[in-house]
Amino acid sequence: MALPRVTDVIADLPVGVKAVGGAVITGAVLATVWRGLKTRTTKRKVYPRDTIVIHQMGRGPHVPSLTPFAIKLETYFRMEGIPYEVEHSWYRRSKKTGKIPFLEYNGEEIPDSEFILEFLSKEKNLDLNRGLTEEQIGVGRALQKMAEENTYWCFVVDRWVLDESSAIYRHFDLNRIVIYLLKKSQRKRMWNHGIGRYSPDQIRHIMSEDLKALSSYLGPKKFLFGDKASKFDCAIFGILAEIRWASFGGFGSSVIKEYPNLCDYCERMKETFWPDWDEVIQKDYTR
């Protein structure tokens, strides 16, 4: 989840702010855009052929990425022992979707974490569902879609809109006016999506019911389908890691604590596939 686009913020500026602070804000925006363009043109690397490169936002805090879909991809690559590189930038996004993460592979760009895995399964001859039965594949997909298409939006609106402390914004040292503008833009986005039309208590309830379903299915098992993690564990872990460790001032961290086996599951996934977690979550960590 990245900060709203500059154009969205400008469009939502109150008339008074436009009139009084337009020049200052415009100057700041242009400076930011210039830095972004400069970053794009001066820091691109040339990789050897067949190198898997994942483009995402920077590391940390608390989690290796503020987007669960990057954590999903990296966890899968670590699980399968697949070499990969990571490029960090708030500015460079997929030309096709305008989002991150996206894959760069031999000059080709593939957006969306699930399409990335499907693409690589063909290129690298990977069996994404190795060792799983048809029933487990069906259950896994259902749980993954619930987490990525429903639970995800609960923690997004919790983190970026409902949190009255604005902890995620203060982490980036933003002033009150910018925080107001960004929150307003996000609130509009969440309203258009639909999740923003519910009350905070209702959104918390939706998240809790989703986590309850995951908790009930996981039970005492080590991973979703037994002692060995699967692609679906990588996807679920990406969502849960954000809720567990990167809710900032939102309610997500308290909701997941209602389900101790999910907290233990997060720790288990972290210890198994991210032995370098404490190093990776540093903001200046670039690998």
pLDDT at 21 exceeding the cut of 70? no
**Across 69-98, average pLDDT:** 94
CA 34 to chain centre: 25
Q: Where are the alpha helices (DSSP H) in 86-194?
A: 113-123, 134-146, 152-157, 167-171, 176-193
Please, which pLDDT band fits residue 34 given cuts at 50, 70 and 90? Answer: very low
The secondary structure of residue 197, as a DSSP letter, is: G
* Band of pLDDT at residue 234, cut at 50, 70 and 90: very high
Asked whether 74 and 101 are in contact (CB, 8 A), the reply is no
- For residue 101, what pLDDT is reported? 95
Residues constituting the chain: 287
**Average pLDDT of the segment spanning 148-169:** 95
Write the DSSP assignment of 160-179 as a string of letters: III-TT-HHHHHTT--HHHH
The pLDDT score that the predictor gives to residue 37 is 44
Q: 84-121 as b/e, with b when 16 or more CB fall inside 10 Å? A: eebbbbbebbbeeeeebbbbbbeeeebbbbbebbeebe
CB 58 within 8 A of CB 283: yes
**Least confident piece of the model among 39-48, 66-75, 169-178:** 39-48
Write the pLDDT tens digit of every residue in 162-212. Answer: 999 999 999 888 899 999 999 999 999 999 999 999 999 999 999 999 999
For the chain, the average pLDDT equals 87
pLDDT at 11: 39
Angle at Cα 30 formed by Cα 25 and Cα 32, nearest 5°?
A: 95
Give the range among 39-48, 70-79, 80-89 with minimum mean pLDDT. 39-48
What percent of the chain has pLDDT above 90? 75
Its pTM stands at 0.84
Q: 39 near 222, Cβ under 8 Å?
A: no
pLDDT at 43: 59
The amino acid present at 61, given as its one-letter code, is P
CA distance to 68, 150, 174, 248, per residue, from 178 (Å): 25, 28, 6, 18
> 101: cis peptide before it, omega within 30°?
yes
Output DSSP code: residue 223: B
Higher-scoring residue by pLDDT: 53, 10: 53
Mean pLDDT of 145-157: 97
In this prediction, residue 1 carries a pLDDT of 43
DSSP H or E stretch at residue 42: helix 15-42
β-pairing, 102-105 vs 53-56, is antiparallel
What is the per-residue pLDDT for 90?
81
| pLDDT at 107 > cutoff 60 | yes
Q: Is the pLDDT of residue 18 over 50?
A: no
Does residue 29 have a pLDDT over 70?
no
